Amino acid sequence: MNMPRRDDLIVPHRSALLAALLLAFPLAVMAQSAPPASGTSSTDMSSMPGMEHGSMSGMPTPAAPSSTAKPATKTPVKKAKKKPVPAPATSAPSPMNGAEGMDHSAMPGMDHDSMQGMQKPANPAASTTTTGDMSGMDHGSMTGMSPEAMKGMDHAGMAGMDHGAMSQKDQSGMAGMGAMSGMTMGPMQGGSPPPDARSPDYSDGVGYGSMQGMDMADNTPLGMLLIDQLEAFHGRDANGQAWEAEGWYGNDTNKLWIRTEGERSRGKLDDGGLEAFWNHSIATYWGTQLGARQDFGEGPKRTWAAFGVQGLAPYWFELEATAYVGAGGRTAARLRAEYELLFTQRLILQPEAEINLYGKDDPLRRIGSGVSDVQFGLRLRYEIHRQFAPYIGVSWVRRVGTTADYARQDHEPVLDRQIVAGVRFWF
């Protein structure tokens, strides 16, 4: 929450920015799911069978026809999750470099042309089973099947980093999505029920008996508390301690969700926040968050109504996007993205990015409107046990715009780099 100034890596258009960011969210989704840079043109998408147009809903100029799901908002079950397949290096996003994070080169090998016109992309390799044919087929089907990528908030977390570049891509990516007709296959994930979808009810009106004793665990509420960061930091100007934690309690569909983070230095609490949400699962990897946030620390305590989405985007990015509305017309937004890169089964690098935005100046809390700060952290942990891991890392915090001006006035750093060491644990 403290950041430098050197070059304005994002030029905030003040209040417009908030809106832009929220817009960029679905856009980013599209961008990420747009065709790869690897030589396929954007029109390739047109041939993808189960392409999910739903995610385009928020788009200003959606060239997309149909309707499908509405993936643009969802929330995942945030677990102490480990990302399996490491995304390509390029997609381990560096928040300072949003455009790169979006780089579609991460998805070469996609070639949707091949799917073009396939009515029944089922049985490939017409005659021979040579490896070449088969493999070709497989990937064909794969790409064809992966349109689900379209649905998520894919990589939206990076949206905030570079909207400009993004919307550009988005637009182009969108362009090709028009011609979806002719495909009979649905998407492998997401999608809407086909017209001939059947009922799951085979009861003929027969109900359950009155027998007691069934004791299934399919609705049992459970809980979890993850202390993701409990650390000491050593910055250029200050040393201190920081925490970041979240917990939940509930069943598969509805959970009480708590998030908290903050830091203290020189023996006093600089900044802190506590959020409580009703988390509702709305899609495979996404859920909505509806609740409140309380800020504490230096300055007046602020209370906000909060709503957002949280989920797991393709390529295993954990994303959170939350908008806040407070008293006196205050608004704010926070976007977070997190990834886990496994070097071994126990040595895990966790990059993390966060951006905070405010709708108007709050001089008492030394926050300016627009983007207030951008944070990026890299933490390398060793899981002695799945549930307990010490880590070391480095974290950059850069204040932006008016917030940076406040910092300068206060003789505080605009950019701070911190060395951190701590533990992560959950139960």
Partner 1 sequence: MKSLYPPPMDLSRRRFVHGLALGGTVAALGLLRPSKAWALASAGQPATLSGTDFALDIAETMVNYTGRPRVATTVNGGIPGPTLRWKEGTTVTLRVTNRLRVPTSIHWHGIILPFREDGVPGISFPGIAPGETFTYRFPVRQSGTYWYHSHSRFQEQTGLYGSLVIDPAGPERNPSDRDYVVMLNDWSDASPEHIFATLKRQSDYYNFAQPTAPEFFRDVRDRGLRQALAERKMWNQMRMNPTDLSDVSGYTYTYLMNGTAPAGNWTGLFKPGEKVRLRFINGSAMTIFDVRIPGLKMTVISADGQDVAPVPVDEFRISVAETYDVLVEPQEDRAFTIFAQSIDRTGYARGTLAPRIGMEATVPAMDPRMPVSMVDMMGAMAQGSAGHGDMQGMSGMTGMQGMTGMQDMTGMDMSGMAAAAAPVVRHARTEYHNPGVDMHVDMPRTNLDDPGTGLRDNGRRVLTYADLHTLGGSIDKREPSREIELHLTGNMERYMWSFDGVKFSDATPVHFRSGERLRVVLVNDTMMNHPIHLHGMWSELESPDGKFQVRKHTINVQPAQRITYGVSADNLGRWAYHCHMLYHMEAGMFREVVVS
Residues 333-352 that bind partner 1 (CB under 8 A): 341-346
Residue 132 has what DSSP assignment? Answer: H
**Residue 375 near residue 395, CB atoms below 8 Å:** yes
What residues between 345 and 384 interact with partner 1 by CB under 8 A? 345-346, 384
Instruction: Measure the CA–CA gap between 54 and 172, rounded to whole angstroms.
Output: 17
Answer yes or no whether residue 303 interacts with partner 1 by CB under 8 A.
Answer: no
- Cβ 379 to partner 1 shortest distance, Å: 15
Instruction: Measure the CA–CA gap between 355 and 270, rounded to whole angstroms.
Output: 18
Instruction: Measure the CA–CA gap between 113 and 42, rounded to whole angstroms.
Output: 10
* Amino acid code (one letter) for 161: M
Instruction: Measure the CA–CA gap between 228 and 247, rounded to whole angstroms.
Output: 10
Count of C-beta atoms within a 10 Å radius of residue 427:
11
- Cβ 163 to partner 1 shortest distance, Å: 23
What residues between 271 and 300 interact with partner 1 by CB under 8 A? 281-287
Site string for partner 1, 217-256 (x = CB under 8 A): xxx--x-x---------------------------xx---
Answer yes or no whether residue 125 interacts with partner 1 by CB under 8 A.
Answer: yes
- Cβ 53 to partner 1 shortest distance, Å: 14
Instruction: Measure the CA–CA gap between 45 and 65, rounded to whole angstroms.
Output: 13
* Nearer residue to partner 1 within complex by CB, 283 or 357: 283
Site string for partner 1, 160-199 (x = CB under 8 A): -------------------------xxxxxxxxxx-xxxx
- Cβ 229 to partner 1 shortest distance, Å: 17
Nearest alpha carbon to residue 352 among 289, 394, 294, 399: 394
Instruction: Measure the CA–CA gap between 98 and 102, rounded to whole angstroms.
Output: 6
Interacting span for partner 1 (CB under 8 A) from 142-150, 256-264, 322-330, 351-359 = 142-150
Answer yes or no whether residue 153 interacts with partner 1 by CB under 8 A.
Answer: no
Interacting span for partner 1 (CB under 8 A) from 55-63, 76-84, 228-236, 265-273 = 76-84
What residues between 5 and 44 interact with partner 1 by CB under 8 A? 38-39
Per the listing, tokens 């891509």 go with 169
**Residue 4 near residue 399, CB atoms below 8 Å:** yes
